[in-house]
């Protein structure tokens, strides 16, 4: 793994620093401005002291969420959801501004960042239709970053084949369906498998894209994506404990890179319960260190530990300039901020 890293570093683009600003200097600078206005620990401390939603709204309006939040009517029924929707709207506005100022490679990069949201939206709508919910309600629950044109017509599909051929073939998600079509009807289980297949294809595609971009982007995004691949592998392994998913099925859902590839993934696929999963992880760094920290503090769940590690990676990525990793890191940090709110 260490040798891989060194090899990647030595193939960096020599003129990267001198030519990055040609196309992407302005957009990166705007992004760093956005990152500077993320909520800090002082803001969170103030907000924790709030007695009711009115105070919270007042504090939020002093931050960058300012004028959008002041339109929310506090006395109403769904104030919490409305507040969060306002904040999400602000985030989406920022993202779309970045995307419309970006050109070429950066534009494609931002498109690829949207795809996990698209995948989530597709799965949401299809599972909502299985439970006979109305499409307009489902569309409201979709994440705005993942909207694409044909999304409303997803509701008509009856099985995966139709889903693919009628709707998804023209969207950016189309190419992730190759090789994973089956004639089964859409049930809950198969939806989860479909979601994980799509994620796997997307991560591998993204990794290939970042490798092609090269230079510091490849280095930074490589770290992020292999962590993401590991995280998905751990999630799939722990969620499929006790289900009838076979070892081979599980392995086919794991990505073909990451620090757990290939031996860790083989072990994870064969793990039968949570303890075995933890045992497998304790052989791999940095997971062994993280697990040691977790066992010191009993309340931490493995999800939180992994989120903490991911955010550390995000902070580190901002210490380097002239790469696209900061965009991905900002998206992650903003989403965490929205979850915190």
Partner 1 sequence: YWGLVFRHISPYMWASLGCALAIGLSVAGAAWGIFLTGSSLVGAAVKAPRITSKNLISVIFCEAAAIYGVITAIILQTKVEDVPIGSDGEWSVKILKAGYAVFGSGLCVGLSNLVCGICVGIVGSSCALADAQNSTLFVKILVIEIFGSALGLFGVIVAIIISASAVFK
For position 30 contacting partner 1 by CB under 8 A, the verdict is: yes
Q: Does residue 57 contact residue 77 with C-beta atoms inside 8 Å?
A: no
Place of tokens 């999963």: 277
CB of 15 to partner 1, least distance (A): 9
Out of 11, 32, 141, 279, point to the residue binding partner 1 (CB under 8 A): 32
Of all residues in the chain, what percent are helix, strand and coil, respectively (each to 5)? 75, 0, 25
Nearer to partner 1, 24 or 230 (CB): 24
- Kindly give the interhelix angle for 41-48 and 53-62, rounded to the nearest 10 degrees: 160
Nearer to partner 1, 27 or 163 (CB): 27
For position 77 contacting partner 1 by CB under 8 A, the verdict is: no
Q: Which stretch binds partner 1 (CB under 8 A): 27-35, 138-146, 171-179, 216-224?
A: 27-35
For position 63 contacting partner 1 by CB under 8 A, the verdict is: no
For position 263 contacting partner 1 by CB under 8 A, the verdict is: no
Q: Report which DSSP code applies to 131.
A: T
Q: Does residue 229 contact residue 310 with C-beta atoms inside 8 Å?
A: no
For position 103 contacting partner 1 by CB under 8 A, the verdict is: no
For position 100 contacting partner 1 by CB under 8 A, the verdict is: no
Place of tokens 């280095």: 219
Place of tokens 């239709």: 129
Closest CA to 318 of 308, 332, 303: 332
N-term to C-term CA, the chain = 37
Q: Which stretch binds partner 1 (CB under 8 A): 25-33, 139-147, 208-216, 235-243?
A: 25-33
CA dihedral defined by 88, 133, 193, 143, rounded to 10 degrees?
-10
Nearer to partner 1, 34 or 107 (CB): 34
CB of 67 to partner 1, least distance (A): 16
CB of 319 to partner 1, least distance (A): 11
Nearer to partner 1, 21 or 211 (CB): 21
Q: Which stretch binds partner 1 (CB under 8 A): 5-13, 30-38, 81-89, 138-146?
A: 30-38
Nearer to partner 1, 17 or 84 (CB): 17
Q: Residue 159 and residue 171: Cα distance in Å, rounded?
A: 18
Number of H helices, E strands in the chain: 17, 0
Nearer to partner 1, 11 or 32 (CB): 32
Nearer to partner 1, 94 or 228 (CB): 94
CB atoms within 10 A of CB 216: 21
CB of 59 to partner 1, least distance (A): 20
CB of 45 to partner 1, least distance (A): 21
For position 133 contacting partner 1 by CB under 8 A, the verdict is: no
Q: Residue 205 and residue 273: Cα distance in Å, rounded?
A: 31
For position 36 contacting partner 1 by CB under 8 A, the verdict is: yes
Q: Residue 240 and residue 84: Cα distance in Å, rounded?
A: 32
CB of 36 to partner 1, least distance (A): 5
Q: Report which DSSP code applies to 170.
A: G
Nearer to partner 1, 29 or 293 (CB): 29
- CA angle at 193 for the pair 190 and 194, rounded to the nearest 5°: 85
For position 296 contacting partner 1 by CB under 8 A, the verdict is: no
For position 29 contacting partner 1 by CB under 8 A, the verdict is: yes
Q: Residue 26 and residue 10: Cα distance in Å, rounded?
A: 27
Nearer to partner 1, 3 or 22 (CB): 22
Dihedral over Cα of 49, 53, 58, 60: its sign: positive
Residues that bind partner 1 (CB under 8 A): 17-18, 21-22, 25-30, 32-34, 36-37, 321
């Amino acid at each position: 793994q260490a040798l891989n890293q060194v090899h990647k570093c030595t193939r960096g683009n020599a003129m990267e620093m001198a030519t990055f600003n040609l196309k992407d200097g302005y957009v990166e600078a705007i992004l760093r401005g956005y990152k500077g206005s993320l909520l800090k620990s002082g803001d969170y401390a103030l907000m924790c002291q709030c007695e009711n939603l009115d105070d919270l709204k007042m504090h939020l309006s002093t931050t960058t969420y300012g004028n959008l939040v002041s339109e929310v009517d506090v006395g109403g029924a769904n104030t919490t959801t409305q507040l969060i929707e306002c904040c999400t709207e602000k985030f989406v506005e920022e993202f779309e501004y970045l995307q419309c100022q970006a050109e070429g490679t950066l534009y494609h990069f931002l498109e690829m960042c949207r795809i996990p949201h698209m995948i989530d939206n597709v799965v949401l709508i299809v599972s909502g239709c299985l439970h006979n919910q109305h499409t307009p309600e489902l569309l409201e629950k979709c994440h705005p970053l993942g909207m694409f044109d044909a999304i409303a017509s997803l509701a008509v599909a009856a099985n995966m084949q139709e889903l693919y051929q009628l709707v998804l073939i023209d969207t950016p998600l189309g190419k992730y369906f190759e090789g994973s079509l089956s004639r089964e009807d859409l049930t809950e289980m198969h939806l989860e498998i479909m979601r994980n297949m799509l994620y796997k294809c997307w991560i591998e595609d993204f990794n290939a894209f970042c490798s092609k971009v090269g230079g510091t982007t490849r280095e930074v995004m490589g770290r992020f994506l292999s962590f993401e691949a590991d995280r998905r592998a751990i999630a799939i392994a722990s969620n499929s404990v006790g289900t009838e998913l076979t070892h081979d099925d599980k392995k086919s859902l794991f990505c073909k890179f990451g620090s757990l590839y290939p031996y860790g993934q083989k072990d994870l696929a064969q793990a039968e319960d949570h303890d075995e999963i933890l045992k497998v992880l304790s052989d791999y760094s940095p997971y062994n260190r993280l697990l040691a920290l977790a066992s010191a503090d009993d309340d931490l769940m493995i999800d939180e530990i992994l989120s903490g590690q991911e955010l550390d990676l995000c902070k580190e990525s901002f210490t380097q300039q002239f790469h696209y990793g900061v965009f991905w890191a900002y998206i992650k940090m903003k989403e965490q901020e929205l979850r915190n709110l």
